[in-house]
Amino acid sequence: MSLSVPFSISVADLVSPRSLGGMKVLVAMSGGVDSSVAAAELKAKGHDVVGVTMRLWGGESDTGCCSVSDVDDARRVAQQLGIDHLVFNFSDDFDTHVVEPYVDAHVHGLTPNPCIECNRHLKFDRLSERARQLGFDAVATGHHARLESDDSGKLRVHRGADVAKDQSYVVYMIDESELDYTLFPVGHMTKAEVRERAIELGLRTATKPDSQDVCFISKTGGRETFLGKRIPFRPAQVVTQDGHVAGSVQAIELVTIGQRRGIGIPGGQPKQYVVDVDTESARIVIGDEADLYCESQFVDRVTWAYSSDIERLSSTPDVLVQSSAHGTPHPAVIRLASDGTIEVKWVERQRRIAPGQSVVFYDVTNSYVLGGGIACAHSRS
């Protein structure tokens, strides 16, 4: 099949896609069941659907969503649905915005989330930009999140219908410039319903397992092998909070806050956890589990769904805060700190968040995303 669309921005870009019938939608198809059904649902509703698979990682891959077989699955599903399928090569962007920062983060003792950075820079930036250039009215993905209006009529990223598969956390960076251009066709479905729909349609991805791993980290080599080919590992001392040397590790770059195993201390002792990683002094500080808990957490690189949310939260700052993809959200009060970061003050002390991880703010009803950012290295005990 061939694609024939004008390489220009259409008039439809100036109108909310939800007010149009028969939209021209570009669907990001990863080769998984969710994006396959997303494309099918949009076509069933009468939209002009084109599938696209982003070629991102050109190196060794036996996990994630960047393998040759995934591209082939996406292409074959498009054939089954009778829609055009494209492949966009964004490998340079992926290296620049995902792989290189991932490596650099480990050098500086951070724990990055490359899948979130891929969403930020590729799916909801680079792909959206290309879609607009090609005259599409919207970009759709297979994320389990919903786009609905709040009480004031503003479009928001709401949690997906399937609590166990909710992915609102990993798309927190979508702001007002992209909300009206984005569609999540399977967000109102449970995972079981998605698979049932795929089986009904006879899609080849119907029983395909979910991708759980970082696409550029192979199962055979793992993170240690990947990083070891790109940076020199540095040994580090493992010390208690009073400075006593308890052991050592060969690679400080592989250690993260909260880690308990593989931190170079003898067995048969009370459980010890990493409470600080100091790459400058090559020291890893350990402590009891209680030492992981803190009163507040600082967050930088914050993005908001709407800029007006900052003003509203300055007067009513109560939020729920989530620090992992399927973690429990906890109540907190947030405020703008003097250095421009956001201070999250927990209502009840919480475990330290590993610097580099995403911290996402939800409204007090725990329904929709307000914004989010990246955990800083400093927190208040």
Active site residue 376: no
State the pLDDT at residue 66. Answer: 61
Q: What is the mean pLDDT of the chain?
A: 89
Provide the whole-model pTM. Answer: 0.90
Q: Which of 66, 118, 294, 376 is catalytic?
A: 118
Return the domain boundaries, the chain.
22-142+185-201, 232-287, 292-380
CATH of the domain spanning 292-380, picked from 2.40.30.10, 3.30.70.1290, 1.50.10.20, 3.30.70.20: 2.40.30.10
pLDDT tens sequence across 213-257 = 788 888 888 899 999 999 999 999 999 999 999 999 999 999 999
State the pLDDT at residue 65. Answer: 62
Q: How confident is the model at residue 379 (pLDDT cuts 50, 70, 90)?
A: low
**CB burial of residue 54 (10 Å; 0-12, 13-18, 19+):** buried
State the pLDDT at residue 251. Answer: 96
With beta carbons less than 8 A apart as the criterion, state whether 41 and 186 touch.
yes
Higher-scoring residue by pLDDT: 169, 316:
169
Question: Taking 70 as the threshold, does the pLDDT of residue 17 lie above it?
Answer: no
Complete DSSP assignment for 322-341: E-STTPPPEEEEEEE-TTSP
CA distance 232 to 273: 25
**To 10 degrees, what angle do helices 68-81 and 33-44 make?**
20
Any idea which of 26-30, 50-54, 262-266, 304-308 has the lowest mean pLDDT?
262-266
State the pLDDT at residue 215. Answer: 85
pLDDT tens sequence across 274-294 = 999 999 999 999 999 999 999
pLDDT tens sequence across 52-61 = 999 998 766 5
State the pLDDT at residue 380. Answer: 59
Question: Taking 80 as the threshold, does the pLDDT of residue 207 lie above it?
Answer: yes
At position 254, the amino acid (one-letter code) is L
The CATH H-level (homologous superfamily) assignment of domain 232-287 is: Adenine nucleotide alpha hydrolases-like domains (2.30.30.280)
- Residue percentage of the chain with pLDDT more than 70: 91
Q: Class of the 22-142+185-201 domain?
A: alpha beta
State the pLDDT at residue 6. Answer: 31
CA distance 352 to 72: 42
State the pLDDT at residue 313. Answer: 79
